[in-house]
Amino acid sequence: MSPTWSAGRFQLDLGRPLVMGIVNVTPDSFSDGGAHADPGAAIRHAQTLVEAGADILDVGGESTRPGSLPLPQDAEWARIGPVLQEVVRWGVPISVDTYKPRTMRLALDLGVDIINDIDALRMPGAEDAVASSSAGICLMHMQGEPQTMQQQPHYADVVREVGDFLRARADAMLALGVPASRICIDPGFGFGKTLGHNLELARHLDEIVAHGYPVLVGVSRKSMIGGSSGRPVQERLAGSLAAALACVAAGARIVRVHDVAATVDALKVWTAVRG
Protein backbone atom coordinates (compact mmCIF):
# COMPACT_ATOMS: atom_id res chain seq x y z
CA MET A 1 0.00 0.00 0.00
CA SER A 2 1.21 3.49 -0.83
CA PRO A 3 2.23 5.52 2.26
CA THR A 4 0.18 8.41 0.86
CA TRP A 5 -3.19 8.89 -0.80
CA SER A 6 -3.00 11.25 -3.77
CA ALA A 7 -6.11 13.42 -3.52
CA GLY A 8 -6.32 16.53 -5.65
CA ARG A 9 -4.32 19.29 -4.00
CA PHE A 10 -3.05 16.96 -1.28
CA GLN A 11 -0.76 14.04 -0.66
CA LEU A 12 -2.43 12.59 2.43
CA ASP A 13 0.00 10.87 4.80
CA LEU A 14 -1.34 7.46 5.77
CA GLY A 15 1.29 6.93 8.42
CA ARG A 16 -1.47 7.47 10.96
CA PRO A 17 -5.23 6.81 10.65
CA LEU A 18 -7.07 9.79 9.13
CA VAL A 19 -10.45 11.08 10.29
CA MET A 20 -13.02 12.02 7.66
CA GLY A 21 -15.75 14.21 9.13
CA ILE A 22 -19.28 13.81 7.78
CA VAL A 23 -21.18 16.90 6.61
CA ASN A 24 -24.73 15.83 5.73
CA VAL A 25 -26.55 18.62 3.88
CA THR A 26 -29.77 16.60 3.98
CA PRO A 27 -33.15 16.90 5.70
CA ASP A 28 -33.48 13.13 6.19
CA SER A 29 -30.16 11.77 7.43
CA PHE A 30 -30.51 8.69 9.64
CA SER A 31 -27.90 10.02 12.04
CA ASP A 32 -28.61 13.70 12.62
CA GLY A 33 -32.21 14.19 11.50
CA GLY A 34 -31.42 17.03 9.13
CA ALA A 35 -29.63 19.22 11.67
CA HIS A 36 -27.36 20.62 8.95
CA ALA A 37 -29.75 20.73 5.97
CA ASP A 38 -29.38 24.48 5.59
CA PRO A 39 -26.11 25.45 3.81
CA GLY A 40 -25.25 27.93 6.54
CA ALA A 41 -25.72 25.31 9.25
CA ALA A 42 -23.69 22.81 7.22
CA ILE A 43 -20.82 25.29 6.84
CA ARG A 44 -20.82 26.02 10.57
CA HIS A 45 -20.83 22.28 11.29
CA ALA A 46 -17.95 21.76 8.87
CA GLN A 47 -15.94 24.45 10.68
CA THR A 48 -16.63 22.70 13.98
CA LEU A 49 -15.35 19.42 12.54
CA VAL A 50 -12.15 21.04 11.29
CA GLU A 51 -11.57 22.63 14.69
CA ALA A 52 -12.14 19.21 16.28
CA GLY A 53 -9.35 17.71 14.18
CA ALA A 54 -10.95 16.34 11.02
CA ASP A 55 -8.33 15.54 8.39
CA ILE A 56 -10.91 15.47 5.58
CA LEU A 57 -14.45 16.85 5.17
CA ASP A 58 -16.95 14.65 3.31
CA VAL A 59 -19.91 16.66 2.00
CA GLY A 60 -23.05 14.90 0.82
CA GLY A 61 -26.48 16.08 -0.24
CA GLU A 62 -28.43 12.82 -0.60
CA SER A 63 -29.33 10.40 2.15
CA THR A 64 -28.44 6.83 1.21
CA ARG A 65 -29.90 5.22 4.31
CA PRO A 66 -31.79 1.94 3.72
CA GLY A 67 -35.08 2.64 1.99
CA SER A 68 -34.14 6.12 0.78
CA LEU A 69 -35.28 7.31 -2.65
CA PRO A 70 -32.94 8.80 -5.28
CA LEU A 71 -32.60 12.58 -5.30
CA PRO A 72 -32.61 14.54 -8.59
CA GLN A 73 -29.18 15.86 -9.50
CA ASP A 74 -30.26 19.51 -9.52
CA ALA A 75 -31.65 19.17 -6.00
CA GLU A 76 -28.46 17.50 -4.81
CA TRP A 77 -26.31 20.28 -6.24
CA ALA A 78 -28.58 22.99 -4.81
CA ARG A 79 -27.85 21.55 -1.37
CA ILE A 80 -24.11 21.01 -1.61
CA GLY A 81 -22.95 23.59 -4.15
CA PRO A 82 -23.02 26.59 -1.76
CA VAL A 83 -21.27 24.53 0.94
CA LEU A 84 -18.52 23.37 -1.40
CA GLN A 85 -17.91 26.89 -2.70
CA GLU A 86 -17.08 27.91 0.87
CA VAL A 87 -15.22 24.93 2.32
CA VAL A 88 -12.98 24.36 -0.70
CA ARG A 89 -11.24 27.63 0.23
CA TRP A 90 -10.23 26.43 3.70
CA GLY A 91 -7.09 24.51 2.79
CA VAL A 92 -8.60 21.24 4.00
CA PRO A 93 -9.07 18.16 1.79
CA ILE A 94 -12.68 18.16 0.59
CA SER A 95 -14.53 15.01 -0.41
CA VAL A 96 -17.91 14.83 -2.16
CA ASP A 97 -20.20 11.92 -1.38
CA THR A 98 -22.07 11.34 -4.65
CA TYR A 99 -22.69 8.74 -7.34
CA LYS A 100 -23.94 11.21 -9.97
CA PRO A 101 -21.47 12.03 -12.78
CA ARG A 102 -22.69 15.60 -13.31
CA THR A 103 -22.35 16.37 -9.60
CA MET A 104 -18.84 14.93 -9.73
CA ARG A 105 -17.89 17.19 -12.64
CA LEU A 106 -19.33 20.31 -11.01
CA ALA A 107 -17.57 19.51 -7.74
CA LEU A 108 -14.25 18.87 -9.48
CA ASP A 109 -14.61 22.16 -11.34
CA LEU A 110 -14.85 23.86 -7.94
CA GLY A 111 -11.61 22.18 -6.86
CA VAL A 112 -12.71 19.36 -4.56
CA ASP A 113 -10.10 16.74 -3.82
CA ILE A 114 -11.94 13.42 -3.44
CA ILE A 115 -14.92 11.70 -5.04
CA ASN A 116 -16.47 9.26 -2.58
CA ASP A 117 -18.91 7.05 -4.51
CA ILE A 118 -21.15 4.44 -2.89
CA ASP A 119 -21.67 2.95 -6.36
CA ALA A 120 -17.93 2.60 -7.12
CA LEU A 121 -18.18 4.73 -10.30
CA ARG A 122 -20.53 2.29 -12.04
CA MET A 123 -23.11 4.84 -13.19
CA PRO A 124 -22.61 5.62 -16.91
CA GLY A 125 -20.30 8.60 -17.21
CA ALA A 126 -18.91 8.38 -13.69
CA GLU A 127 -15.57 6.84 -14.65
CA ASP A 128 -15.01 9.45 -17.33
CA ALA A 129 -15.98 12.24 -14.93
CA VAL A 130 -13.10 11.44 -12.61
CA ALA A 131 -10.46 9.52 -14.53
CA SER A 132 -8.77 12.54 -16.10
CA SER A 133 -8.81 14.58 -12.88
CA SER A 134 -6.26 14.43 -10.07
CA ALA A 135 -8.88 13.65 -7.43
CA GLY A 136 -8.66 10.83 -4.97
CA ILE A 137 -11.29 8.16 -5.60
CA CYS A 138 -13.07 6.08 -2.99
CA LEU A 139 -14.75 2.98 -4.40
CA MET A 140 -17.37 1.45 -2.12
CA HIS A 141 -19.12 -1.91 -2.23
CA MET A 142 -22.91 -1.95 -2.15
CA GLN A 143 -25.21 -4.87 -2.92
CA GLY A 144 -28.30 -3.53 -4.66
CA GLU A 145 -29.34 0.10 -4.19
CA PRO A 146 -30.31 2.12 -1.10
CA GLN A 147 -34.06 1.78 -1.72
CA THR A 148 -33.97 -2.04 -1.56
CA MET A 149 -30.51 -3.07 -0.35
CA GLN A 150 -31.56 -4.23 3.12
CA GLN A 151 -34.55 -6.32 2.05
CA GLN A 152 -32.75 -9.63 1.44
CA PRO A 153 -28.97 -9.24 1.28
CA HIS A 154 -27.29 -12.54 0.50
CA TYR A 155 -23.71 -13.72 0.05
CA ALA A 156 -22.06 -17.11 -0.22
CA ASP A 157 -18.84 -15.59 1.19
CA VAL A 158 -19.21 -11.91 2.03
CA VAL A 159 -15.50 -11.21 2.57
CA ARG A 160 -14.43 -12.83 -0.69
CA GLU A 161 -17.26 -11.30 -2.72
CA VAL A 162 -16.72 -7.78 -1.39
CA GLY A 163 -12.98 -8.09 -1.92
CA ASP A 164 -13.39 -9.39 -5.48
CA PHE A 165 -15.76 -6.54 -6.34
CA LEU A 166 -13.45 -3.86 -4.98
CA ARG A 167 -10.42 -5.33 -6.74
CA ALA A 168 -12.34 -5.44 -10.03
CA ARG A 169 -13.44 -1.82 -9.69
CA ALA A 170 -9.90 -0.73 -8.85
CA ASP A 171 -8.62 -2.67 -11.87
CA ALA A 172 -11.14 -0.85 -14.06
CA MET A 173 -9.77 2.49 -12.90
CA LEU A 174 -6.18 1.37 -13.48
CA ALA A 175 -7.16 0.39 -17.03
CA LEU A 176 -8.33 3.98 -17.58
CA GLY A 177 -4.93 5.28 -16.55
CA VAL A 178 -5.76 6.24 -12.97
CA PRO A 179 -2.67 5.67 -10.82
CA ALA A 180 -3.05 3.30 -7.88
CA SER A 181 -2.00 6.12 -5.55
CA ARG A 182 -5.36 7.84 -6.17
CA ILE A 183 -7.50 4.81 -5.28
CA CYS A 184 -9.07 4.02 -1.91
CA ILE A 185 -11.56 1.21 -1.21
CA ASP A 186 -14.47 0.90 1.22
CA PRO A 187 -16.18 -2.43 2.08
CA GLY A 188 -19.49 -0.61 2.55
CA PHE A 189 -20.61 -1.54 6.04
CA GLY A 190 -24.40 -1.43 6.16
CA PHE A 191 -24.92 -1.23 2.40
CA GLY A 192 -26.73 -4.42 1.42
CA LYS A 193 -25.47 -6.37 4.41
CA THR A 194 -27.00 -7.95 7.50
CA LEU A 195 -25.51 -7.54 10.96
CA GLY A 196 -23.82 -10.90 10.48
CA HIS A 197 -22.31 -9.82 7.17
CA ASN A 198 -21.02 -6.58 8.71
CA LEU A 199 -19.43 -8.38 11.64
CA GLU A 200 -17.84 -10.96 9.34
CA LEU A 201 -16.36 -8.16 7.23
CA ALA A 202 -15.02 -6.43 10.32
CA ARG A 203 -13.47 -9.65 11.64
CA HIS A 204 -11.69 -10.25 8.35
CA LEU A 205 -11.00 -6.68 7.30
CA ASP A 206 -7.33 -7.56 6.97
CA GLU A 207 -8.29 -9.55 3.85
CA ILE A 208 -9.70 -6.37 2.27
CA VAL A 209 -6.58 -4.45 3.34
CA ALA A 210 -4.47 -7.14 1.66
CA HIS A 211 -5.68 -5.98 -1.76
CA GLY A 212 -3.12 -3.19 -1.40
CA TYR A 213 -5.25 -0.04 -1.42
CA PRO A 214 -5.96 2.28 1.52
CA VAL A 215 -9.17 1.14 3.19
CA LEU A 216 -11.80 3.63 4.33
CA VAL A 217 -14.50 2.45 6.74
CA GLY A 218 -17.79 4.05 7.69
CA VAL A 219 -19.28 2.43 10.77
CA SER A 220 -20.28 5.56 12.69
CA ARG A 221 -23.72 5.27 14.37
CA LYS A 222 -24.81 2.58 11.90
CA SER A 223 -27.29 -0.22 12.51
CA MET A 224 -24.46 -2.68 13.10
CA ILE A 225 -23.55 -0.62 16.16
CA GLY A 226 -27.15 -0.64 17.33
CA GLY A 227 -27.49 -4.33 16.58
CA SER A 228 -24.41 -5.14 18.65
CA SER A 229 -25.04 -2.73 21.54
CA GLY A 230 -28.82 -2.41 21.63
CA ARG A 231 -28.48 1.37 21.58
CA PRO A 232 -30.54 3.86 19.52
CA VAL A 233 -28.80 6.14 17.03
CA GLN A 234 -28.30 8.96 19.53
CA GLU A 235 -26.49 6.65 21.97
CA ARG A 236 -24.00 4.90 19.68
CA LEU A 237 -20.86 6.93 20.29
CA ALA A 238 -19.06 4.35 22.44
CA GLY A 239 -19.96 1.54 20.06
CA SER A 240 -18.90 3.59 17.04
CA LEU A 241 -15.51 4.30 18.62
CA ALA A 242 -15.02 0.63 19.45
CA ALA A 243 -15.81 -0.41 15.89
CA ALA A 244 -13.59 2.29 14.39
CA LEU A 245 -10.63 1.25 16.53
CA ALA A 246 -11.17 -2.42 15.71
CA CYS A 247 -11.10 -1.56 11.99
CA VAL A 248 -7.99 0.61 12.38
CA ALA A 249 -6.28 -2.22 14.25
CA ALA A 250 -7.06 -4.45 11.25
CA GLY A 251 -5.45 -1.97 8.86
CA ALA A 252 -8.07 0.64 7.90
CA ARG A 253 -6.39 4.00 7.21
CA ILE A 254 -9.39 6.36 7.04
CA VAL A 255 -12.44 6.39 9.31
CA ARG A 256 -15.54 8.30 8.20
CA VAL A 257 -17.31 9.55 11.31
CA HIS A 258 -19.91 11.91 12.74
CA ASP A 259 -18.18 12.38 16.11
CA VAL A 260 -14.83 13.81 15.09
CA ALA A 261 -13.52 15.11 18.42
CA ALA A 262 -14.15 11.83 20.25
CA THR A 263 -12.69 9.79 17.39
CA VAL A 264 -9.55 11.96 17.24
CA ASP A 265 -9.03 11.47 20.98
CA ALA A 266 -9.62 7.73 20.75
CA LEU A 267 -7.10 7.39 17.93
CA LYS A 268 -4.52 9.46 19.81
CA VAL A 269 -4.77 7.17 22.82
CA TRP A 270 -4.80 4.03 20.66
CA THR A 271 -1.69 5.27 18.84
CA ALA A 272 0.09 6.15 22.09
CA VAL A 273 -0.63 2.71 23.55
CA ARG A 274 0.59 1.06 20.37
CA GLY A 275 3.78 3.10 20.56
Those residues whose C-beta lies under 8 Å from the C-beta of residue 54, and which sit 6 or more positions away, are 19, 20, 21, 92, 260, 264
Tell me, yes or no, if 105 is annotated catalytic. no
Helix (H, G, I), strand (E, B) or coil at 88: coil
Under a CB-based contact definition with an 8 Å cutoff, are residues 25 and 36 in contact?
yes
Under a CB-based contact definition with an 8 Å cutoff, are residues 116 and 96 in contact?
yes
Check 79, 182, 221, 222 and give the catalytic one.
Answer: 222
Q: From CA 190, how far away is CA 198, in angstroms rounded? A: 7
Q: At what angle do helices 73-87 and 101-110 cross, to 10 degrees?
A: 20
Under a CB-based contact definition with an 8 Å cutoff, are residues 254 and 218 in contact?
no
Tell me, yes or no, if 222 is annotated catalytic. yes
Residues annotated as part of the active site: 222, 256
